[in-house]
Amino acid sequence: MNRVTPGTNQGSKPTETKGTAIMRKTVNGSTFEQEVLRGSGPVLVDFWAEWCMPCHAVAPVLERIAAEHNLKLVEVNYDEEQRLAERYGVLSIPNMILFENGEPKAQAIGAQPKSTLERALGLAA
């Protein structure tokens, strides 16, 4: 189940940021390789869970970061995709991993301010 953030609809959720619509897409074990590992350009993966309030709080921040840095944004439900979480060492959520060329490049853990997340993910100027 996709989470619903303010100003969005359930399912693939577009978010308007500076005139650019960002689509947050849910991926699972069978779609992760195609959407993330073989995806073109950098992909920001958000490991989250429905019960995780910090996950819901950081979602709009991640959408803004994705829009401003031209990143594809996907979400992985931590409770439903334990194998993916284990594969990438995700032990706590929210947990965001930036992939480039199919490889993890940077990781940020916890709901943090936008500027802190950008620095942790190597996106700060």
52 is catalytic: yes
DSSP 29-93: TTTHIIIIIS-SS-EEEEEE-TT-HHHHHHHHHHHHHHHHTT-EEEEEETTT-HHHHHHTT--SS
> Over 50: is that where the pLDDT of 111 sits?
yes
pLDDT at 24: 84
Distance of alpha carbon 49 from alpha carbon 94, whole angstroms: 8
Q: Which listed residue (22, 43, 44, 55) is catalytic?
A: 55
Distance of alpha carbon 50 from alpha carbon 2, whole angstroms: 8
Q: Which listed residue (43, 44, 52, 66) is catalytic?
A: 52
pLDDT at 102: 94
**pTM exceeds 0.85, yes or no:** no
pLDDT digits (tens, 9 = 90+) for 19-34: 455 678 999 999 999 9
55 is catalytic: yes
